[in-house]
Amino acid sequence: MVENKKYYIKTYGCQMNEHDSEKIAGMLEEKGYNPADELEKADLIFLNTCTVRENAELKVFGKVGSLKRLKRANPDLIIGIGGCMMQVEEPVQKIKEKFPHVDLVIGTHNLHKLPELVSEIEESDQRIISVWDQEKGIIPDLPSVRKSDFQAWVTIMQGCDNYCSYCIVPYVRGHERSRLKENIINEVENLIEDGVIEITLLGQNVNSYAQDLEADYDFADLLAELDEIEGLKRIRYMTSHPRDFNEKTIKTIADSNKVCEHFHLPIQSGSNDVLYEMNRGYTREDYLAMIDNIKEHFDHYSITTDIIVGFPGETDENFQDTLDIVKEVEFDMAFTFKYSKRTGTPAAKKDNQISEEVKDRRLQKLMKVQNKISLRQNKKLEGKNLEVLVEGESKNNPATFMGRSRTNKLVIFPRQEGLIGKVVKVKIDNAQSWTLYGDVIET
């Protein structure tokens, strides 16, 4: 055990990484470390990295460079880097050669070894690069320090077998490995005992949950079983793959009480040619049929998506197909990305890459179209009462609280003590593209 030592974790990327950071914090606290509120006050700094797009990587290198100053001022400072970027050879080499002030590099598959490796560095001052190239299954029961008392992430599977042609995730997170249903339910029951009322199930493609197990259950069965657990109020999940989001799952959600009516279904492109090249396994017609199916089963719901513009070979017509489908579906929100070339993926080898200028222009156009739709969708909620789980003080104004509706809309309302962690009813009186404003009418 160390005494009076502090740690600081900076997390890049998705919810999986956020959840891994909770486990890193858990392991460090078991070793006796306490959280530092500022980077400058830490004895151990850990960067949990992302490599999905190039700009995420550039940010990490910028940060690593800036830490040199702190290491110079305090040679005992331990600097560690982990996460997806550390599963790729190039950046690991670069850290080895150009950033000697980094003490520890650890891959995603051997995160559980962190305490041991930190001890070695504390004792011997040596540099450790520990990156496995083989996944070793889900590492269960790592201690975890959750950011929230009433919300929790629950990993149901790791890795991805889809090999979308642009994506690096299968190469850095390994094959799909699902957790046994009993272990997931057990974890959820323990979380409820700790006061958790909302869980988010995590996986790169939750809809293929359990396909790698010799089991007679699937994702829909897992949802149905979790829905029965007393004390739990909300169930969320991410991410769904449109190819595997089936009728059974839609019906199960419609029949459930706790599974939230928020459908995040990354479409990536509206063009069949591009979808084929992306290896997504569905057409725009399949996608639209799935959306119709959702609309038939639910009165109140939201649909969000991810879209990539400028995939190699994307023509103006292909991009127009994307704009058209965005208008047709009327997404509540879209995360929009410029295609980013990832070494080692099939799309990176294509010789019909799109210029940055064209990508920028398409992104701007898409965002403009989507923003208008988001505003129009939200305006429909003015005058309506929404069930909101109060999360805490809103980011920009301590006089207000923020929370999320079941449909995952951000709702802001005047501060009222005693509401954090509670589900309340809020009447919406002003809707903007990203935010709804209202007043609590029932606690």
CB of 158 to ligand SAM, least distance (A): 12
- How does DSSP classify residue 91? H
Site membership for ligand SF4, residue 163 (CB under 6 A)? yes
Q: Is 158 a binder of ligand SAM (CB under 6 A)?
A: no
Q: Does 265 bind ligand SF4 (CB under 6 A)?
A: no
For residues 26 and 34, give the distance between their C-alpha atoms in angstroms, rounded to a whole number.
10
Please name every residue paired with 436 in a beta bridge, in sequence order, or none if there are none.
411, 431
Residue from 12, 153, 166, 209 touching ligand SAM (CB under 6 A): that is 166
Q: Tokens 């079983």 sit at which residue?
A: 225
Residue with tokens 């990587």: 57
Main-chain phi, psi angles of 69, to 5 degrees: -60, -45
170 binds ligand SF4 (CB under 6 A): yes
Give the DSSP H/E element, type plus range, for residue 109.
none
Q: Binding partner of residue 12 among ligand SAM, ligand SF4, none, CB under 5 to 8 Å per kind? A: none
Report the distance separating Cα 383 and Cα 431, nearest Å. 10
How far is 374 from 435, CA to CA, in rounded Å?
A: 10
Q: Which of residues 349-408 bind ligand SAM (CB under 6 A)?
A: none
Residue 163 interaction partner, one of ligand SAM, ligand SF4, none, beta carbon < 5-8 Å per kind: ligand SF4
Smaller CB separation from ligand SAM, 262 or 342: 342
Q: Which of 364, 339, 365 is nearest to 352 (CA)?
A: 339
Kindly indicate which of the ranges 96-104, 164-172, 247-255, 316-324 contains the residues binding ligand SAM, using the contact rule CB under 6 A.
164-172
Applying CB under 6 A, does 241 fall inside the site for ligand SF4?
yes
Q: Could you tell which of ligand SF4, ligand SAM, none binds residue 342, using a CB distance below 5 to 8 A set by kind? A: ligand SAM
Interface characters, 169-188, with ligand SAM (x: CB under 6 A): x-------------------
- For residue 104, the 8-state DSSP code is E
Pairs from 404-409 (Cβ < 8 Å, separation ≥ 24): 405/436, 406/234, 406/260, 406/261, 406/262, 407/260, 407/261, 407/262, 407/300, 407/301, 407/302, 407/332, 408/236, 408/260, 408/262, 408/264, 408/302, 408/304, 409/302, 409/332, 409/378, 409/381, 409/436
Region of 66-74, 213-221, 334-342, 378-386 interacting with ligand SAM (CB under 6 A): 334-342
> In this chain, which of 108, 178, 318, 340 binds ligand SAM, going by CB under 6 A?
340
The dihedral through the CA atoms of 424, 427, 430, 434 has a sign that is positive
* Residue whose CB is less far from ligand SF4, 164 or 354: 164
* Stretch 294-313 residues interacting with ligand SAM (CB under 6 A): 306, 308
Strand partners, 307: 268, 336
Angle, CA of 392, 206 and 208, to the nearest 5°: 175
Closest CA to 325 of 366, 358, 293: 366
Q: Which is nearer to ligand SAM, 158 or 394 (CB)?
A: 158
User: Shortest gap between Cβ of 323 and ligand SF4 (angstroms)?
Assistant: 21
Q: Is 204 in the site for ligand SF4 (CB under 6 A)?
A: yes
User: Exactly one of 337, 381, 404, 412 binds ligand SAM (CB under 6 A); which one?
Assistant: 337
The interface partner of residue 431, options being ligand SF4, ligand SAM, none and the CB cut-off 5 to 8 Å by kind, is none
Binding site for ligand SAM (CB under 6 A): 14, 52-53, 166-167, 169, 204-205, 239, 241, 266, 268, 306, 308, 337, 339-340, 342
Binding site for ligand SF4 (CB under 6 A): 160, 162-164, 167, 169-170, 204-205, 241
